Amino acid sequence: MSSSASASSQPFDAAATARRSHWKTLATLCSYLWPSGRLDLRIRVVLAVLALILAKVVNVVVPYLYKLAVDALTGANPNSGASGDAANAGGADGSLLITVPLTIILAYGGARVLSQAFGELRDLIFIKVGQHSQRSIALDTFRHLHGLSLGFHLERQTGGLSRVIERGVRGISFVLSFMLFNILPTLLEIFLVTGVLLYAYHEVSPAFAAITFGTIFLYIVLTLTITEWRLKYRRKMNKNDTDANTKAIDSLINYETVKYFGNEEHEYARYDRALAGYEAAAVKSQGSLTVLNLSQGLTIGAGLIAVMYLAADGVAAGRLTVGDFVLINTYLIQLYLPLNFLGFVYREVKQSLTDMDKMFELLEVGTDVRDESDAAVLNDGPGRVEFRNVSFAYKSDRPIIEDLSFSVESGRTTAIVGPSGAGKSTISRLLFRFYDVNDGAILIDGQDVREVSQKTLRAAIGVVPQDTVLFNDTIAYNIAYGRPGADDQAVANAARLARIDGFVASLPEGYDTTVGERGMKVSGGEKQRIAIARAILKSPRIMLFDEATSALDSHTEKEIQASLREVSKDRTTLVIAHRLSTIVDADEILVLKAGRLVERGKHAELLERDGEYAEMWRKQQEAEELRERVELTQD
């Protein structure tokens, strides 16, 4: 048995989301269980509730049938509630003693089967509702996460975020399984049993109902109070569990870096510290669980003793039959088992609700970049790009781009260069609308990108990023991701243009070769060429290469440059470059420094000016010459 409220090691911003209450979470869940436009599911909910009520009503009748059988067999008069001779229960030959118990026994067995049948029918009817709600919530969360801005994902660790979602989905399953079909039915049964005891024995002793209800009430109060005290230990357990999981995922993702620096022991120590915290909290949690279990046992035991004493006294005084004694005992046993389970269920539901709180908080996180309600479609056009007096800062005290203006005509290639931190990659993020500009405007064919839908905007732009991440799937899948559903011939043509077809042909499994987690089974250059093939297959009107050849050797780089020129033909092309040798043929080169445009022109023109670009060129040429001399020396 355990109870808890889970806590993510990466709490969400207080400004973005307020702490949810469990009632609000349950209201959200109910909206999925009673979905609009799905009459079939609503009918299932109603039928499942009816089956639940019938199951509990029959379950309460079962002990009464058992009492009638005992009274008939012991010769008591079930109607008078007092002992009598055997003649009251049967004839001289005892035939009624056989007939009456057999009838009652058959009814008793039938009632038990009927109770189980109603329970199974309830589960069968409701399963579609429960599964549909889980599917809808998971899909909505997944869709919402993809709709959040890049800034949200950059600020959060994937391991911690995935843990929040995993716990939330598991919590939904638990709440649906136990709260709806254990807690609520048990509470219904408690009221039914209390009502039966009060109605049947109010003349003999109303204390039966009072003690039964009082014991249950005290049990619930103790469970709630002690569980709330225990939650702090469970929170610590979950915090350390999330922390350990995050560290493990982060370490495995960076497997090569760990090996480069020989820091395996360092990683083991970090992971073990989180596990040790979990261990300490788990020990304390178990101790508090012992206190809870003993308190529950003492409460139930005291109530059982009190009620059974009163029943035994009633039998001895002739006010009750043996059947009454059995009935009261059976009711208590029947309530004791689910009540004992109720404590566990409450603790787990409490934890599940808290886990669901965190997941539903994700659905309330707003995005910094959103489409307007009347967002237009990006019209077909040649693909002219214009930055008009654009200024942008990730944080207000640190401007990245200031008053930047330039345009790229269709069919032309513009390169953007500059030192690290100059704002080059930020330009690609702004164009793709991962962020919105603070001032100015970005236009494509005369339309402000903020006024068109993100879907149509991004469909018009093909991006080859500097840091290419591949799906853990086949080469064919990763290339075809540029246009899902593309046939094999289209994939092969894109691979040929990206100069990766020869590499694929050399592999035993060809295009069906898996690339591994994040593409770790292929080299940096091969990953980059797959990314280029993927962008080619997309066939956009605007191509954006963000240092797309930075991971390639000189020979491969020259091969791909020829491909890029072919791919860029008749398209608007933006090239963010580190190696200046890759953009000497660009129609225009923009030189950025500290977020400002300091030079612009063709390669030869900029060399003649002997400014920032010329200085960068000289330094790279010197570095290249030094590298070549070192290689010659080694040879």
Helical spans, DSSP H, in 318-377: 322-364
- Segment 577-584 shows an average pLDDT of 83
Residues of the chain above pLDDT 90, percent? 15
Q: Contact at 8 Å (CB) between 388 and 435?
A: no
Please state, in angstroms and rounded to a whole number, the distance separating the CA atoms of residues 167 and 145. Answer: 16
Read off the pLDDT band of 162 (50, 70, 90). confident
- Assign 335 a pLDDT band (cuts: 50, 70, 90): confident
Say whether pLDDT at 635 is over 90: no
Compute the radius of gyration of the chain from its Cα atoms. 36
- Identify the CATH assignment for 22-364 out of 2.40.430.10, 1.20.1560.10, 1.10.3720.10, 1.50.10.20: 1.20.1560.10
Cβ 70 vs Cβ 323: under 8 Å: yes
Query: In the structure, what pLDDT confidence band is assigned to residue 442 with cuts at 50, 70 and 90?
Result: very high
Q: Tens of pLDDT along 562-580?
A: 767 777 777 899 998 888 8
Query: pLDDT band at residue 290, thresholds of 50, 70 and 90?
Result: confident
**pLDDT tens readout for residues 166-185:** 888 888 888 887 777 777 88
Q: Return the structure tokens found at 215.
A: 């014991």
> And the tokens for 308?
């059974």
Q: How far is the C-alpha of 89 from the C-alpha of 322, rounded, in Å?
A: 14
pLDDT at 158: 59
Q: How far apart are CA 621 and CA 147, in angstroms?
A: 44
Q: What is the pLDDT of residue 325?
A: 87
Give the residue extent of every domain in the chain. Answer: 22-364, 385-460+540-634
Using a 10 angstrom Cβ sphere, with 0-12 exposed, 13-18 middle and 19 or more buried, the burial of residue 123 is middle
Single-letter amino acid code for the residue at 565: R
- Assess contact for 376 and 453: CB atoms under 8 A: yes
* pLDDT at position 607: 92
Residue 186 has pLDDT above 90, yes or no: no
CA-based max dimension of the chain: 129
The residue among 433, 463, 428, 427 whose CA lies nearest residue 448 is 433
The HSE-up count of residue 195 (CA atoms within 13 Å, CB side) is 9
Task: Give ∠ CA 194-195-200 in degrees, rounded to 5.
Answer: 100
Lowest pLDDT segment from 26-40, 81-95, 508-522, 527-541: 81-95
The stretch 305-311 carries a mean pLDDT of 87
Residue 124: its H or E element: helix 95-147
What mean pLDDT, rounded, does the chain reach?
Answer: 81
113 pLDDT band, cuts 50/70/90, is very high
Q: How many CA atoms lie within 13 A of 234 on its CB side?
A: 21
pLDDT band at residue 326 using 50, 70 and 90 as cut-offs = confident
DSSP letters of 550-605? TTS-HHHHHHHHHHHHHHHTTSEEEEE-SSGGGGTT-SEEEEEETTEEEEEE-HHH
Distance CA 524, CA 552 (A): 7
Lowest mean pLDDT among 470-474, 522-526, 574-578: 522-526
With a cut of 80, say whether residue 82 has pLDDT above it. Answer: no
| HEC sequence for 283-308 | HHHHHHHHHHHHHHHHHHHHHHHHHH
pLDDT reported for residue 584: 86
H helix or E strand, kind and range, residue 633: helix 612-634
H/E segment holding residue 100: helix 95-147
Residue 513 CA from chain centroid, whole number: 30
Which tokens hold the place of 349?
A: 């539901």
**Cα 552–Cα 556–Cα 559 angle in degrees, nearest 5:** 130
- Model pLDDT, residue 99: 56
What integer pLDDT is reported at residue 552 of this predicted model? 61
pLDDT band at 91 (very low <50, low <70, confident <90, very high): very low
**At the top level of CATH, which class does the domain 385-460+540-634 belong to?**
alpha beta
Give the pLDDT confidence score for residue 88 in this predicted structure: 42
Output 261-268 pairs: Cβ under 8 A, ≥24 positions apart.
none
| 73-87, 314-328, 566-580: the lowest-pLDDT one | 73-87
CB 541 within 8 A of CB 383: yes
How large a percentage of the chain has pLDDT more than 70?
A: 86
| Mean pLDDT, rounded, for 234-248 | 84
Rounded mean pLDDT of 235-254?
Answer: 85
| 596-601/447-448 β-pairing | unpaired
- Across the range 546-559, mean pLDDT stands at 67
What are all long-range contacts of 144-149, with beta carbons under 8 Å and residues at least 24 apart?
144/362, 144/363, 144/365, 145/362, 147/367, 148/365, 148/367, 149/367, 149/368, 149/369, 149/434, 149/435
Q: What is the DSSP letter of 509?
A: T
Tens of pLDDT, residue by residue over 590-627, are: 999 888 899 999 999 999 999 999 998 998 888 777 76
CA 189-194-195 angle, to 5 degrees, is 95
Q: Is the pLDDT of residue 476 over 50?
A: yes
**pLDDT of 554 over the 60 cut:** yes
Per-residue confidence (pLDDT) for residue 125, from 0 to 100: 92
pLDDT in tens, 377-424: 999 888 899 999 999 988 877 888 999 999 998 888 999 998 877 888
